[in-house]
Amino acid sequence: MQTLDLRGVTCPTNFVMAKLELEDIEVGTTVEFLIDDGEPVKNVPRSLKDEGHKLLGLQERDGYYVLTLEKGAE
């Protein structure tokens, strides 16, 4: 599973980086994104879901979140 660390990256740059990462992988692939609390955890999952990706989980870890999703069709 691929993991992209977006901690410390502000909105909307973190969403743009996540979207670019997803362009390079196959549909159906599971990816993890590490995101900060606050605006990122509110906006990134919603924006990626709106793009057609399937959210599989959002877990809080030590001060950040792990967003797991499956790449959807483009």
> Tokens in use for 47?
């924006």
Q: CA torsion, points 21, 25, 26, 31, in degrees to nearest 10?
A: -60
Catalytic residue among 11, 17, 58, 66: 11
Task: Give CA torsion, residues 73, 1, 15, 53, to 10 deg.
Answer: 30
Q: Is 20 a catalytic residue?
A: no
Catalytic residues: 11
